[in-house]
């Protein structure tokens, strides 16, 4: 199935005088990995919880899987998977039973052993949730998010506490789900996670969208100047240029052998993101 999974127009949410979401428009096609980035308090969770149907909105139009999340029923909910920022409350029973218990809520759930295998928890199938490490507990949350074969999966800071190998395995799992057509909305503070997983990232600050683009294109990143640095005649040199290849060729012609301490640096997603957030904060301060 193709089409648009999430359509948002003019979404707002106020808490008293606080405009937590101040008018956002979004469109997420089926099968996309879409990531929200933004500083603490930017409005990400508020926006996502409105999409999930767990928070009311103050204004705007929202359609998720063809329905208004504020009014959708159980069948709609069974098509959605959620990994919350906080630990999912689970009964005190072995991990395999916990997964089986949650599977019972969905019409076409995966088998519990299959899910545990997918999240790398097979060895802990007989353990109680309390006996899992922080990262393993988080994997159980992920298992509960995907057990219903969701068409749309929300992941709110899913890899907090994962060791580097577990994080990489989790990324592979998410890529696999996306390849099979699952649409994924990821909220993360790990920029390398967004860069690895997301087709598009959406930077939110102060309740407004600052930019939406592919991670490699965000904020003109692809065409941003490179910084070339090297050591010559015992001194460190640094130059910003649109044509780093030409500069390196010139250096190579001038300096015999390897160019000492040569590096070519283009802005990372983090560089671009931090600039964007800083700009935004500066604007807010001027506006106040």
Ligand X SMILES: Nc1ncnc2c1ncn2[C@@H]1O[C@H](COP(=O)(O)OP(=O)(O)OP(=O)(O)O)[C@@H](O)[C@H]1O
Footprint (CB under 6 A) of ligand X, residues 155-194: none
With respect to ligand X, which residue has the nearer C-beta, 15 or 54? 15
Name the segment binding ligand X (CB under 6 A); options: 35-43, 57-65, 143-151, 228-236.
35-43
40 binds ligand X (CB under 6 A): yes
What character string, x for contact with ligand X (CB under 6 A) and - otherwise, covers 42-81? xxxxx-----------------------------------
CB-CB neighbours of 203 under 10 Å: 25
209 binds ligand X (CB under 6 A): no
Tokens of 222: 């692809």
20 binds ligand X (CB under 6 A): yes
Residue selected from 3, 10, 15, 242 as contacting ligand X according to rule CB under 6 A: 15
- Measured from the CB of residue 16, what is the shortest distance to ligand X in angstroms? 7
Name the segment binding ligand X (CB under 6 A); options: 37-45, 61-69, 126-134, 167-175.
37-45
With respect to ligand X, which residue has the nearer C-beta, 124 or 210? 210
Residue selected from 5, 24, 28, 38 as contacting ligand X according to rule CB under 6 A: 38
Binding residues (CB under 6 A) for ligand X: these are 15, 18, 20, 38, 40-46
């Amino acid at each position: 199935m193709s089409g648009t999974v999430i359509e948002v127009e003019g979404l707002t949410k106020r808490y008293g005088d606080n405009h937590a979401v101040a008018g956002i428009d979004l469109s997420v096609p089926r099968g996309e990995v879409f990531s929200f980035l933004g500083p603490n308090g930017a409005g990400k969770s508020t926006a996502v919880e409105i999409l999930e149907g767990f928070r009311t909105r103050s204004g705007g139009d929202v359609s998720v899987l063809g329905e208004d999340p504020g009014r959708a029923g159980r069948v709609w909910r069974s098509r959605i998977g959620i990994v919350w920022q906080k630990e999912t409350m689970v009964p005190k029973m072995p991990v395999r039973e916990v997964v089986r218990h949650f599977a019972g809520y969905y019409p076409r759930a995966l088998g519990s052993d299959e899910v545990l295998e997918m999240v790398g928890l097979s060895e802990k199938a007989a353990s109680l949730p309390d006996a899992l490490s922080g990262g393993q507990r988080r994997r159980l949350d992920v298992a509960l998010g995907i057990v219903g074969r969701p068409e749309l999966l929300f992941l709110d800071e899913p890899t907090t506490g994962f060791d580097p190998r577990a994080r990489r395995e989790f990324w592979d799992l998410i890529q696999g789900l996306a390849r099979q057509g699952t649409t994924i909305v990821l909220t993360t503070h790990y920029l390398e996670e967004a860069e690895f997983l997301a087709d598009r990232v959406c930077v939110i600050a102060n309740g407004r969208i600052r930019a939406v683009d592919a991670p490699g294109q965000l904020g003109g990143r692809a065409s941003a100047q490179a910084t070339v640095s090297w050591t010559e005649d015992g001194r460190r040199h640094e130059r910003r240029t649109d044509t780093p290849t030409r500069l390196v060729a010139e250096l190579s012609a001038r300096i015999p052998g390897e160019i000492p301490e040569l590096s070519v640096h283009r802005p990372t997603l983090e560089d671009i993101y931090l600039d964007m957030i800083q700009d935004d904060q500066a604007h807010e301060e001027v506006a106040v």
